[in-house]
Amino acid sequence: MSAITHEHEHDHDHDHKPTGIKRWLFTTNHKDIGTMYLVFALVMFFIGGSMAMVIRLELFQPGMQFVEPQFFNQMTTVHGLIMVFGAVMPAFTGLANWMIPMMIGAPDMALPRMNNWSFWILPFAFLILLLSLFMPGGGPDFGWTFYAPLSTTYSNDSTALFVFSVHIMGISSIMGAINVIVTIWNMRAPRMTWMKMPLFVWTWFITAFLLIMVMPVLAGAVTMVLTDKYFGTSFFDAAGGGDPVLFQHIFWFFGHPEVYIMILPAFGIVSAIIPTFARKPLFGYASMVYATASIAVLSFLVWAHHMFTTGMPVFATLFFMYCTMLIAVPTGVKVFNWVATMWRGAMTFEVPMMFALAFIVLFTIGGFSGLMLAITPADFQYHDTYFVVAHFHYVLVSGAVFSIIAAAYYWLPKWTGYMYDERLGQLHFWCSLISVNLLFFPMHFVGLAGMPRRIPDYALQFADFNAFISVGGFLFGLSQLIFVWVIVKCARGGEKATAQVWEGAEGLEWQVPSPAPYHTFDTPPEVK
Amino acid sequence: MQLHRTLVSKLLLVTVLMFGFGFALVPLYDVFCEVTGINGKTSNVPATVLADGIDTSREVTIEFLARPNKDMPWIFKPEIRRLTVHPGEVHVMNYLAENPTGRMIVGQAVPSVSPGQAALYLHKIECFCFTQQQLAAGNKMLMPVQFYVDPALPAQFSTITLNYTLYDVTANWQGSAATENLGE
Ligand code: HEM
Ligand SMILES: [Cu+2]
């Protein structure tokens, strides 16, 4: 019934919604754009994932089996770039598009046409990046961190395409971030004060500031790589008075805030899900906001913890070591707040809650390995080993990616109007949970024992562990097919979802019907 | 709409400034390293003042290293491996360079001192690294460096290693703009 009234409504106040491909090409609707971002991220997740499968296949046994070393390096490089810029970041942007206007009671994003642009340039960026793999000499093979001189003196001509595609990704992220800030700043419903905003909105607001501060620095770094390689400058070339270590400073000045760009929205998601399924308000709301803000500020002061082995003077390593450890404090505040929220709550364990719980435990493990890496003398041993790989996959896969999956399950009924298949979802959860640990936990051990990262072969004593890790990897990859199945099934139909969907859910997005109508909050809602 | 426009322009300004900041890091980094001397770069301008006096109460060993970069075909080595000096004494040391190829090559030496913090106390009055060096096919030459150790050198440094990496810069030579950058 409500669907009919609505169709009627926008025949009145909006000209018409084009159908077919044109609807998606020209749409300025935040929900359409959010959906496109999410679908795009999912596709990229599988493309990047298949590259990971190539990596694990090669590492299944010692010795060279399937691919050439140079191709192996291209796989690690492009896998990293795609997962960071193509999967995790667009997925968060998609969630922001869908949810932020609904959470703050706004009719749409503030700059809808720019929103369309920021999405539609993305597929081209990744098309360019992927096509560069087919160039003579191959695609980028210098790691997602593209350290000079690997990316300058020793890289092949696909580097120009790499630089171009990173520029486009950066422009897209910056436009998206500006849109988020303007929307939150100017379009909150009356009486939706700052300290009433849901934490997902808060964390995205802060993330958007991080984005506009560091994406331009990344753009600068790739530009310098480009001019060093093709136009005779010497930013990073010692022969011309430059310094390759400078590259690392510029890159990590971007790079460390970037890792927080990939985790702050996850904190927001978990802070939305835990209270719903614990049926208690979030513990320590204000401290969560302040913790997020202080993490963001501190994230600018720790970049050189990626560079302990470059021969920095002792006082500098000490400074970066202590600042890095300091970040663990606000992060710990968050973990304690989530636990306190659950304390004596009436908990139920639907799939979003399961992923959120797994997030808390596994992300914390990643935080602990981060603390170990932050200890300068210890990092001399761990740096560039599989221990680092284990660390950042715990925070990024069982952290950021799990939070995105949790968010998808949590809001799918709101998006499609149907409940997802709970049994399949639980199957997806348990398969993912077990395989992700089979995949990443043993990496700690091989890393501590000295297995270097980004190398296609390894010493014989690592063989058993690596076979084990590879099996975990294949299982994790397969488990994600269940996810696709659940999504497709849920989009096609199922049990009808109510407006509130979850018994304990609170917030404006749960006051509109499910599926959320094409236009919501054309008149601002009443905020209590 | 007007509300949006002012905010958007402010945010765009931040973006542009941060893009500029990325590039500003380049000179900032150089200045920072020069002031603190933490990355072992010695000054690329000749020292003009000499030490007030010679500190005969202690000795410092200077070790000399030389390394032609990967694609640099010159034979390049120090005349002696190490020298023991008193802080404040001026010494001249020669590096030998030979171009064994059949073509003219221009070289640029880039110095590096370790421990890095000692770089601030190694003063060069004259150095072949201040300018580019040319060698015709088959020629040899002696390249001098004239230096003294600052008597203010903290006591913990008893050995200083001075290393030169020699780069082939023939390609960028020929009066190209990049030459001005050289000679760090
Ligand atoms: C308590 C918090 C954390 C601490 C103390 C920490 C510390 C560190 C340190 C010291 C390294 C450098 C290791 C090395 O290269 O030797 C590192 C690497 C890394 N961290 Fe963290 N980290 C923390 C949280 C995170 C989070 C939340 C993320 C992302 C969501 C993250 C992502 C990464 C990535 C991607 C790398 C590797 C970059 C590369 O070299 O490719 N970390 N971390
Ligand atoms: Cu970091």
Model pLDDT for residues A315-350, shown as the tens digit of each residue: 889 999 999 999 999 999 999 999 999 999 999 999
Q: Tell whether A134 and A272 lie within a shared domain.
A: no
Q: Tell whether A166 and A267 lie within a shared domain.
A: no
Q: Could you tell me the distance, in angstroms and rounded to a whole number, from the CA of residue A395 to the centre of ligand 1?
A: 8
Instruction: Please state whether the peptide bond connecting residue A140 to the residue before it is cis, i.e. omega within 30 degrees of 0.
Output: no
On whether residue A257 sits in a domain, the answer given is no
First to last CA, chain A: 28
| A427-439 pLDDT tens trace | 999 999 999 999 9
On whether residue A420 sits in a domain, the answer given is yes
pLDDT of residue A334: 96
Its domain, for residue A317, covers 263-519
Residue B178 has its nearest CB partner, among A220, A232, A250, at A232
Q: Give B115's pLDDT tier (boundaries 50, 70, 90).
A: confident
Between A92 and B118, the higher pLDDT residue? A92
Q: Are B161 and B113 in contact (CB under 8 A)?
A: yes
Please indicate whether, in this complex, the C-beta atoms of B167 and A221 are within 8 angstroms of each other.
no
Share of chain B above pLDDT 70, in %: 92
DSSP label at residue A452: B
Q: Tell whether A314 and A439 lie within a shared domain.
A: yes
On whether residue A97 sits in a domain, the answer given is yes
Mutate to test the pocket of ligand 1, among A395, A396, A398, A403 (most ligand atoms within 8 A of CB): A395
On whether residue A47 sits in a domain, the answer given is yes
Q: Tell whether A184 and A290 lie within a shared domain.
A: no
Q: Give B176's pLDDT tier (boundaries 50, 70, 90).
A: very low
| Total count of domains within chain A | 2
Residue B183 has its nearest CB partner, among A219, A241, A249, at A241
Return the CATH superfamily for domain B60-179.
Answer: Ctag/Cox11 (2.60.370.10)
| A183-206 pLDDT tens trace | 999 999 999 999 999 999 999 999
Q: Tell whether A305 and A431 lie within a shared domain.
A: yes
pLDDT of residue B174: 59
Cα A478 from Cα A492, distance rounded (Å): 22
pLDDT of residue A1: 34
Q: Tell whether A305 and A160 lie within a shared domain.
A: no
| A63-122 pLDDT tens trace | 999 999 999 999 999 999 999 999 999 999 999 999 999 999 999 999 999 999 999 999
Q: Give B31's pLDDT tier (boundaries 50, 70, 90).
A: confident
Q: Tell whether A37 and A126 lie within a shared domain.
A: yes
pLDDT of residue A16: 58
Q: Could you tell me the distance, in angstroms and rounded to a whole number, from the CA of residue A96 to the centre of ligand 2?
A: 24
C-alpha pair distances (Å), A329 with each of A214, A374, B97: 23, 14, 56
On whether residue A117 sits in a domain, the answer given is yes
pLDDT at A12 over 50: no
The CATH number of whichever domain residue A499 belongs to comes to 1.20.210.10
Q: Tell whether A325 and A394 lie within a shared domain.
A: yes
Q: Specify the pTM.
A: 0.89
Query: How would you class A426 by CB atoms within 10 Å of its CB: exposed for 0-12, middle for 13-18, buried for 19 or more?
Result: middle
pLDDT of residue A9: 41
DSSP label at residue A301: S
Q: Which of A208, A229, A254 is the last residue of a domain?
A: A208
Q: Tell whether A156 and A268 lie within a shared domain.
A: no
The complex's ipTM works out to 0.90
On whether residue A94 sits in a domain, the answer given is yes
Q: Tell whether A358 and A482 lie within a shared domain.
A: yes
pLDDT at A10 over 50: no
| A380-400 pLDDT tens trace | 999 999 999 999 999 999 999
C-alpha atoms less than 13 angstroms from C-alpha of A302 in its C-beta half-sphere? 25
Q: Say whether A284 sits in a helix, a strand or coil.
A: coil
Q: Are B69 and B168 in contact (CB under 8 A)?
A: yes
pLDDT at B179 over 70: no
Mutate to test the pocket of ligand 1, among A92, A203, A373 (most ligand atoms within 8 A of CB): A373
DSSP label at residue A528: -
pLDDT of residue A269: 98
Angle ∠(A82,A368,A206) on CA atoms, nearest 5 = 55
pLDDT at B183 over 50: no
